[in-house]
Structure 1
Amino acid sequence: MNGTPTALYSLERWNDEFSEKYLANTILIVFGLLLGIPGNLLVIVIYSCRLIKEGTGRFFVLPLAYVDLTGLFITGTLNLIRNTKHVIFPGNVTCKLLLYGSYVVGCSSLFLLNVIAVQRYQKICRPFSRQMNMKYLRVSLIICIAFSLLLNIPSLFYYGTAPVFDSYSGNVTGVMCQKVYPSSTVGLRAYQGAGAVISTANVICITTLYILIARTIFRTTRLRKTRQNDYVDEQQSSAFTSNTTVQDAQSESDEVQAMSKSRKGSVQRLSIMFMVISFTAIASYFPSWIFIAIETYKSNFWKEMSEPLFQICVILRRMYILNHLSNPFIYGMYDFAFRQQIQRLFCSFK
């Protein structure tokens, strides 16, 4: 890099142009961090202190919250630096570690969601077969994290800071955090291909399992309603003495319905909650996967679009952050116990 004052001024001005270009995305990222970090901290406090004895159904809530919180810090930091110091990225090691960390938390999240889908499938579709106990869940958690750490080690070699040249404003050289080898490199292609295959397999597995779960919940709910109606009809047909008997029959039916809902409702509600979490994660990562594939085969992709299209594409490219900030809101929608504990927590401050 040229060390003259003119060159330094030109480099700063060039970087400022990128900062202005990414300003809208910077604001969105900061807004997401302000929502996601307190939300995940609240999840960690509630589930670790007040819902810790709620059984295996909520076991993965805490690991997911820690992964999401870590993901917000890593991806938020990486993208904010990229936005504000686009061509003056501060350090090769910083770039490598942030990129490696972002890939690890993304893979860990998907692997955990896959294990959760298997667990929910067993509880809903195979309730009388052998279930995952606490030991099995802990081992699964360790395997997911360890495999994510090992799988993404190649990113430490293929990504880092690389020089970039401004061909419009003169002979000015900057430094960006990006691939340090061409996309045609065999090792890089193999790493990206393996990632694509594993991600696709995860998505197919999660989707298939939750389709089976949703079908079972639908059939169970419909069968339960049919049995309840048949029970009421049977009691009403035998109620030949007085209206009181009919009322008692209806009362007994209500009790049966309440007992049935209390036994199965919680399991089904948690399954639906994790289904929404999984599909939200897939939807948030899908645009990024598409853009990664485009970037691999078209190096000038980001330079050939209009400003409005660029802003939309940047948002979609980094939409994976949504996966790390949305879960607390989903817990609040579907987990009654979590919502109740939040109300008690805030009421205690009044």
Structure 2
Amino acid sequence: MDLFWKRFSVGICILTSALLYIPVLFYYGVIEIHNPKLGNITGYQCNRLPGTPAQLKGLSIFQGVGFFITISNVVVISVLYIIITVSIVKQVRKMKNIHVKPAEPSGMSSDATAMSDVSKPQKSTVSQESSEALETTVNSVSQLESRKQKKMPKPDAKRNAFRVSFMFMTISFVGFLAYLPSWSFIVIETNNPTFWKKLSTTAFHVCLTLRRMYMFNHFANPFIYGVFDVAFRKEIGKLFCVK
């Protein structure tokens, strides 16, 4: 993927995110609240705006669509990571099953015959030429074997494949755990509109933190990549001019 398509992909992500969250501007805002327990005190809070039954129905539809999109996002990413992991494991197994067999060139028999003929009384010129031909053939075979050994997979290939597989599984698992509380509270909010109003101050802040746990997924991903991917760490170091 070249630079143009990278920028195009980022632009599509920004546009899609903006379109998905535009309805929030119409359903949520600053509202006036009263706390009878503290006397005649009026305050303001960012919360769901009051509206007609049709608007509240639209809000429920919006929450349902958001619920479906977040679940689909986690499921699709997990499936893609599993497919990538399976492909990597298959490639490593294919590389592991490659056995280098010593190649026996067809010229060896003639060279062997020439070598046996060298033992017979012949002219020194013929003997020298046969010896040089045999030495050249042996050197060629040695070079061929060394090249094949270089093409063999490194012993770290299996360990690298396991590291990449474990990284993908970790990303999927962290994403699922981060979104699970948010999904649960979306269901609760939809079925019980007064849920947040009935909570105490401590319970409200705890539930609000859990409701926004999905942000932890985006925060944790760069660190997960940094732990398992050496190339990613190097690129981050270059980005911040760290040698």
TM-score, with length taken from structure 1: 0.46
CA distance in 1, matches of 2:79, 2:230: 27
CA distance in 2, matches of 1:313, 1:254: 58
2:30 to 132, 154, 161: 161
Q: 1:331 to 1:207 in 2, by over 3 A?
A: closer
Residue 208 of structure 2 corresponds to residue 339 of structure 1: no
Q: 1:280 to 1:255 in 2, by over 3 A?
A: same
Give 3-state SS (helix, strand or coil) of 2:97's partner.
helix
Q: What do the CA deviations read for 1:127-158 (whole angstroms, capped 9, x no partner)? A: xxxxxx54444333222211211222111111
- Alignment correspondent of 1:211: 82
TM-score, with length taken from structure 2: 0.62
| 1:200-349 alignment, distance < 5 Å | 200-227=71-98, 230-231=99-100, 234-235=101-102, 253=149, 255-258=151-154, 261=157, 276-277=170-171, 279-302=173-196, 312-340=206-234, 342=237, 345-346=241-242
- Alignment correspondent of 2:17: 148
Structure of greater relative contact order (alpha carbons < 8 Å, 6+ residues apart) = 1
CA distance in 2, matches of 1:149, 1:180: 20
Give 3-state SS (helix, strand or coil) of 1:258's partner.
coil
**Higher Cα radius of gyration:** 2
CA distance in 1, matches of 2:146, 2:195: 67
CA distance in 2, matches of 1:293, 1:272: 31
323-332 vs 171-180, which moves further: 323-332
Q: Once the 2 structures are TM-superposed, how far is the Cα of residue 339 of structure 1 from its aligned partner? A: 2.8
Residue 257 of structure 1 aligns to which amino acid in structure 2? P
Residue 258 of structure 1 aligns to which amino acid in structure 2? K
CA distance in 2, matches of 1:306, 1:173: 18
Q: 1:312 to 1:217 in 2, by over 3 A?
A: farther
Q: 1:164 to 1:310 in 2, by over 3 A?
A: closer
CA distance in 2, matches of 1:135, 1:338: 21
CA distance in 1, matches of 2:40, 2:202: 29
CA RMSD of aligned residues (A): 4.1
Residue 77 of structure 2 aligns to which amino acid in structure 1? I
Residue 65 of structure 2 corresponds to residue 171 of structure 1: no
Q: Once the 2 structures are TM-superposed, how far is the Cα of residue 273 of structure 1 from its aligned partner? A: 5.0
Q: Once the 2 structures are TM-superposed, how far is the Cα of residue 302 of structure 1 from its aligned partner? A: 4.1
Q: Once the 2 structures are TM-superposed, how far is the Cα of residue 293 of structure 1 from its aligned partner? A: 2.1
Q: 1:251 to 1:315 in 2, by over 3 A?
A: farther
Give 3-state SS (helix, strand or coil) of 2:73's partner.
helix
Q: 1:139 to 1:269 in 2, by over 3 A?
A: farther
Q: Which runs of 5+ in 1 are unaligned?
A: 1-55, 57-132, 236-244
Identity %: 39
Residue 220 of structure 2 aligns to which amino acid in structure 1? S
CA distance in 2, matches of 1:254, 1:183: 73
Residue 222 of structure 2 aligns to which amino acid in structure 1? P
Q: Once the 2 structures are TM-superposed, how far is the Cα of residue 167 of structure 1 from its aligned partner? A: 2.8
Q: What do the CA deviations read for 1:6-54 (whole angstroms, capped 9, x no partner)? A: xxxxxxxxxxxxxxxxxxxxxxxxxxxxxxxxxxxxxxxxxxxxxxxxx
Residue 213 of structure 2 aligns to which amino acid in structure 1? M
